[in-house]
A and B are shown apart, each in its own frame.
Chain A
Amino acid sequence: MAGSDPRWKQTFDRLDRALGPRVNEIMRSDEVASLMALAQRGRRELEQRSEQASRRALHWFNLPAGSDVNRLLTEIAHLEREVRDLRKQLADRDRDRDREPARREPAKREPTKRQPTKREPTNREPTNRDQTKGDGRGTTARRGSRAGQGQA
């Protein structure tokens, strides 16, 4: 295949074989790592200074800055997480209560040939489950009626 490649590709491959390992070694070196860290710090510093300047200017006109919006979004995200965690705690408690009478012993079995057992679907109302979108109803499997599907 290499022999049938056009000349530019053969040249590229020769250069890649000759220089590639050296270039990669340099990129993995400590010095380049320090440069990367410095570049990231510089970029962050520039962003912060730019944000400070634009915030001062916008606040002067009593307008909200991007950082104000970000702060609000962070608060909202924090609240959303708390609500989500509370909702999950309630859902888990309900599910554990539903499962309690039907809890089965873990099967002790030898690794032999088996047939998949057919289980009747448990007849229970879907409880309010975690859902990041929509109406807060739990997500269930779309097809068939199998036990334990879609319950978080």
Chain B
Amino acid sequence: MARLLDAGAVLDRVRRDLDRTALRTRNGLKYLAGVGLPELGCSPKELVWQRDKVCLYRYESDHRSLYPPVLLVHSLVSKPYVLDLRPGNSFVEAIVGRGFDVYAIDWGIPDAVEAENTFETYCDEYLPRAAQAVLDTSAADELTVYGYCFGGVLSLLFVAGHPELPVRNLALMATPLDFSELGAFNRVLRDGRLDVDELVDETGNIPPQIILDGLRSLKATSDLASYATLLNNLDRSEHVAAHQALMGWAHDHIPFPGACFRQTVDWFVRADKLVEGRVPLGGRDVDLGSIGCPVLNVVGDADHIVPVDANAPIRNVLPHADDVHFPSGHVGLIVGTSAHKRSIPGILDWLEAHSDRA
């Protein structure tokens, strides 16, 4: 009898292993073929404003209970759907769920026409108008501006450069100020070993591959470790889908307008305008220290793209900013289990504490 039981247990185990192997093979083939890709950016939204390629979306909600509305400002080098990656793993979903009226800017994909876009284009033309569109659409008198990564830089310049606009709160997440801490790529630009003209392509923009190579150089083993983890978890379809979503986004960069890149190199890489707190925007000296509204500064202690030291000067530029650190990486601040347990609730608590019940 014991032998029969043993045989049964062995058969069960063999069956389980075979099923697991079949699942691993199926998931592996799907991954390699690029089929069955998870749906991304699923939160329902509507286009409420557009200027050139720049679109402003408002996320739908049945329970907007907090005021003022929040305007999410993303970076110029990647696509904004990371803020709304997948159902159940979405920063936008969390903010909307908390009761905020949420808007997000999509800068579009630059081509030759956008090559001449400068910081003035984004901070003096698009952002003020987008902010006004938020106020008009929500019938609001104030708004909260929330910038992520390079979007935080744009937000800083925009808010400081337009004191006439009723910005109630400013939130910055993984925002670099000291570009000398951003890795070797910045060093070669800083000391002239590489010039911007050697990087722009025929459209006048910085190709996405250059940006990706620069980011890869910050942690060269990151991709390899990620694929090893994927291989180990091929039998977990949810893990594979999450990996596809995140790695897909991480490799889905967009061209960076050449004129804006030149300014970035001149102002922030070769000079330290953000560290000094004064930026020559649109022919005027914009004083970042003049920002008087409450500021939230979110930092990921394990962020290798914008390390802690790259963000540190904010304590001098905006001494009244509320510094909040989380043990997360650059994207881990808003994506993943840890984000939804720690950083996102912390961020939302601050936003709610600086908002009113509508």
**Interface, chain A (partner B; CB < 8 A):** 5-6, 9, 12-13, 16, 20, 23-24, 27-30, 32-34, 36-37, 40-41, 44, 70, 73-74, 76-78, 80-81, 84, 88, 106-107, 109, 111-119, 129-132, 138-139, 141-143, 146-152
Chain A residues whose C-beta falls within 8 Å of the C-beta of B112 in the assembled complex: 73-74, 76-77
* Contact status of A77 and B356, CB under 8 A, knowing A24-B219, A130-B52: no
Chain A residues whose C-beta falls within 8 Å of the C-beta of B219 in the assembled complex: 24, 27
B53 interfacial contact with A, CB 8 Å? yes
- Name the CB-closest residue of B to A16: B225
Whether B184 lies near A29 (C-beta < 8 A) is yes
Whether B136 lies near A147 (C-beta < 8 A) is yes
B263 interfacial contact with A, CB 8 Å? no
CB distance from B302 to the nearest CB of A (A): 13
Which of B30-38, B43-51, B77-85 touches A? B43-51
Residues 158-208 (chain B) with a chain A CB within 8 angstroms: 166, 183-185, 187-188, 193-194, 198-199, 202-204
The contact string, 1 if C-beta is below 8 Å from chain A, for chain B 64-100, is 1001000000000000000000000000000000000
B357 interfacial contact with A, CB 8 Å? yes
Which of B137-145, B277-285, B313-321, B336-344 touches A? B137-145
* Contact status of A24 and B48, CB under 8 A, knowing A34-B188, A114-B358: no
Give the residue among B108, B184, B199 with the most A Cβ atoms within 10 A: B184
Besides A41-B198, A149-B49, 15 other A-B contacts (C-beta < 8 A)? A5-B232, A9-B231, A16-B228, A23-B220, A24-B220, A27-B219, A34-B188, A74-B112, A77-B111, A84-B113, A131-B50, A139-B50, A149-B136, A152-B49, A152-B129
Q: List 23 A-B pairs, Cβ < 8 Å.
A: A5-B232, A9-B231, A20-B221, A23-B221, A24-B220, A28-B217, A33-B184, A33-B187, A33-B188, A36-B185, A70-B202, A74-B112, A74-B203, A74-B204, A77-B115, A119-B139, A132-B52, A139-B49, A142-B46, A148-B132, A148-B136, A151-B133, A152-B51
Bound: A142/B49 CA distance, A: 10
B218 interfacial contact with A, CB 8 Å? yes
- Name the CB-closest residue of A to B166: A106
Pick from A81, A88, A119: contact of B51, CB under 8 Å: A88
Chain A residues whose C-beta falls within 8 Å of the C-beta of B224 in the assembled complex: 16
CB distance from A151 to the nearest CB of B (A): 7
Chain B residues whose C-beta falls within 8 Å of the C-beta of A36 in the assembled complex: 184-185, 188, 194, 213, 217
- Name the CB-closest residue of A to B217: A27
Whether A40 lies near B228 (C-beta < 8 A) is no
B120 interfacial contact with A, CB 8 Å? no
Chain B residues whose C-beta falls within 8 Å of the C-beta of A138 in the assembled complex: 50
B116 interfacial contact with A, CB 8 Å? yes
In the A-B complex, the 4 residue pairs with the smallest Cβ-Cβ separation, listed nearest first, are A148-B136, A33-B184, A77-B112, A152-B51
- Name the CB-closest residue of A to B214: A36
Bound: A109/B67 CA distance, A: 13
Bound: A33/B53 CA distance, A: 35
Bound: A31/B85 CA distance, A: 37
Chain B residues whose C-beta falls within 8 Å of the C-beta of A23 in the assembled complex: 220-221
- Name the CB-closest residue of A to B115: A77
Bound: A142/B199 CA distance, A: 40
Chain A residues whose C-beta falls within 8 Å of the C-beta of B51 in the assembled complex: 88, 129-130, 152
- Name the CB-closest residue of B to A133: B53
Pick from A70, A74, A112, A150: contact of B49, CB under 8 Å: A150
Chain A residues whose C-beta falls within 8 Å of the C-beta of B140 in the assembled complex: 116
Whether A106 lies near B198 (C-beta < 8 A) is no
- Name the CB-closest residue of A to B354: A111
Bound: A24/B228 CA distance, A: 17
Bound: A33/B140 CA distance, A: 49
Whether B184 lies near A114 (C-beta < 8 A) is no
CB distance from B63 to the nearest CB of A (A): 13
CB distance from A122 to the nearest CB of B (A): 10
Whether B221 lies near A114 (C-beta < 8 A) is no
Whether A37 lies near B188 (C-beta < 8 A) is yes
Bound: A148/B46 CA distance, A: 15
CB distance from A109 to the nearest CB of B (A): 7
Chain A residues whose C-beta falls within 8 Å of the C-beta of B232 in the assembled complex: 5-6, 9
Whether B198 lies near A44 (C-beta < 8 A) is yes
Chain A residues whose C-beta falls within 8 Å of the C-beta of B213 in the assembled complex: 36
Bound: A95/B78 CA distance, A: 32
Chain B residues whose C-beta falls within 8 Å of the C-beta of A146 in the assembled complex: 136-137, 139
